[in-house]
Amino acid sequence: MAKFIFVTGGVVSSIGKGITTASLGRLLRNRGFTVAPVKLDPYINVDAGTMNPFQHGEVFVTEDGAETDLDLGHYERFMDVNCSGNSSVTTGKVYLSVIQAERRGDYLGATVQVIPHVTNEIKKRIVDLAKEQEADVVIAEIGGTVGDIESLPFLEAIRQMRTEFGLENTLYVHVTLVPQVGPWHEVKTKPTQHSVMQLREIGIAPDVLVCRTEVPLAQEVKEKISLFCGVPPEAVIESRNAATIYEVPLHYENDGLGEFVCKRLSLEATHNDLDEWKSIVKTLKSPQNQCRIAVVGKYTSNGDSYKSIAESLIHAGIPNDCSVDITWIESDTMESGRPPEEMLKGVDGLVVAPGFGERGIEGKIEAIRYAREIGLPFLGICYGLQMAVVEFARNMCGLTGANTEEVVANPPYPVIHLLPEQKGVAEKGATMRLGSWPCNLVNGTIAQKLYGSTRITERHRHRYEVNNDFREKLTEHGMVISGVSPDYRLVEMIEIPGHPFFVGTQAHPEFKSRPNRPHPLFQGLVKAALVHKRKALAAQPVEAI
Ligand code: GLN
């Protein structure tokens, strides 16, 4: 039977529950356990697919095509697992099931209530996930902050699970804040005490407290928290700000979290393999090289909107022994009339990010034109590929006014058009071409060489595609279609030979990159960016260097 760990957060939002959940998962994976993470999200949207990235951050897509919260990205990257769509449980999904069951008459005339019907549905989903994933441990993160009205049914469900599954099979981890206050920067434990009190009011006594702090937690502070909050001192875990998020599991390991959790849940580990993770963190903390990549996108003012792209670039630095600094550029600022050479000054590579709608697309196209013309390494992701095709059609094939039908109803040259299966789709939720799809790569192309294979799979999230009527025109003028769907119908990847690195993909490679397995396309981009940087430096007069 699986063990259940529940992660809650208190005092403030954005306290780092996601990274804590992911890091704890890493510690258990180091010990060889099968871990299934799950995010319990209080919002009423059925999934994150319909949410604005400005407010909610990135929509993370799983292999099986679920549109989920970005925390699943952290879980996958830290634990090196593929999450199931069932790893995302929202209030919307839970209520939808309950109401559908009620309409079918499954409740046999009972009055349908939050307790037990909604809480039963939540518990069922957690237990079903354990079975589906054959997990030794399920780690469930509860979204929001303790005290929020919306998360109460989830907290009640996990409270009940202690009674049902017993002390030896359940563990509550509470992430909390230990701030420093006043002119003497005194460390204060009161917010933690209050947060624990609030949890206890709803019947949950935490077993572990993960304390976010900017300074090391003195033993006496740990003992004070232990005394007031009723957890053993060794279960008061210091969570200091780390140089890189990937260092957090090592901090937790040092502070005894892995050992405490395993002992408490009687999880017998035969080994604890930390070497790979340590070497990743070592490179991330002291790289020999450095490069700068610009990411042009529509939602760059919220740092979380392109979380997986940012992390993929960081991962790609590891095999290149390189730190990757990112310059975020809001795509419509590229339309302000400032020349791209000014906006992209000092940049060694360019990513044009995924996106939807009209705003900023001319800015993306302008950035791509510049990268193509001056030989700046370029990776276009989803909308980024589509804009690269529009740019090439307009400026290389002479197709003036070429565009995507997503923004213009009847462009003179609709080089990007709706996928045939999307015609007539009216509902917005979960109706795009989603999840993992295969792609065949053409031998000898950059893509095929980077992947080291001619048959790959990548995750997708789109409604539009390259219009096959223009394939010939594009290739006649030098664009290479390097990847196609196995039925040859859909353009999956493009590139331009002779350019140092000009690659576009209809998929989202960022969802599959892991620190221990950086994605080949991002690796290729960073490698090309380093070459570009060296060449640019060599071309400068000595006094300018
Ligand atoms: N808007 C484009 C489409 O739907 C691209 C989507 C994306 O970038 N994820 O096809």
Q: Which residue has the higher pLDDT, 441 or 337?
A: 441
Per-residue DSSP letter, 444: T
Among 379, 382, 419, which is best to mutate for testing ligand 1, by the most ligand atoms less than 8 A from CB? 382
Tell me how crowded residue 8 is: count the other CB atoms within 10 A of its CB: 27
Amino acid identity of residue 284, one-letter, is L
If you search the block for the tokens 């469900």, which residue do you land on? 157
| Residue of 106, 544, 53 whose CA lies nearest to 346 | 544
* pLDDT level of residue 182 (50, 70, 90 thresholds): confident
pLDDT tens per residue across span 18-47: 999 999 999 999 999 999 999 999 999 988
Taking residues 197-220, what's their average pLDDT? 95
Taking residues 530-536, what's their average pLDDT? 93
* pLDDT level of residue 48 (50, 70, 90 thresholds): confident
| Residues known to be catalytic | 382, 508, 510
464 lines ligand 1 (CB under 6 A): yes
Taking residues 179-200, what's their average pLDDT? 93
Flag whether pLDDT at 501 surpasses 70.
Answer: yes
pLDDT tens per residue across span 277-307: 999 999 999 999 999 999 999 888 887 899 9
- CATH, domain range 3-279: 3.40.50.300
If you search the block for the tokens 């405490």, which residue do you land on? 260
CATH homologous superfamily of 288-537: Class I glutamine amidotransferase (GATase) domain (3.40.50.880)
pLDDT at 44: 92
* pLDDT level of residue 332 (50, 70, 90 thresholds): confident
Three-class secondary structure of residue 500 per DSSP: coil
Atom of ligand 1 nearest to the CA of 355: 8
359 lines ligand 1 (CB under 6 A): no
pLDDT tens per residue across span 436-494: 999 999 999 999 999 999 999 999 999 999 999 999 999 999 999 999 999 999 999 99
pLDDT at 404: 97
Flag whether pLDDT at 543 surpasses 80.
Answer: no
Cα 330 to ligand 1 centre (Å): 17
- Dist. CA 396–CA 99, nearest whole Å: 55
Flag whether pLDDT at 545 surpasses 70.
Answer: no
**Residues of each domain in the chain carrying CATH 3.40.50.300:** 3-279
Contact 214, 180 (CB under 8 A): yes
449 lines ligand 1 (CB under 6 A): no
pLDDT at 242: 92
Strand partners, 329: 296
Flag whether pLDDT at 542 surpasses 70.
Answer: no
pLDDT at 544: 58
Cα dihedral value 419, 420, 425, 430, nearest 10: -50
**Residues of each domain in the chain carrying CATH 3.40.50.880:** 288-537
Among 60, 305, 406, 417, which is best to mutate for testing ligand 1, by the most ligand atoms less than 8 A from CB? 406
Atom of ligand 1 nearest to the CA of 353: 8
Mean pLDDT for the chain overall: 95
pLDDT at 303: 78
Contact 399, 411 (CB under 8 A): no
Amino acid identity of residue 190, one-letter, is K
Flag whether pLDDT at 107 surpasses 70.
Answer: yes
pLDDT tens per residue across span 252-274: 999 999 999 999 999 999 999 99
pLDDT tens per residue across span 353-391: 999 998 989 999 999 999 999 999 999 999 999 999 999
User: Cα 530 from chain centroid?
Assistant: 25
If you search the block for the tokens 């903390």, which residue do you land on? 285
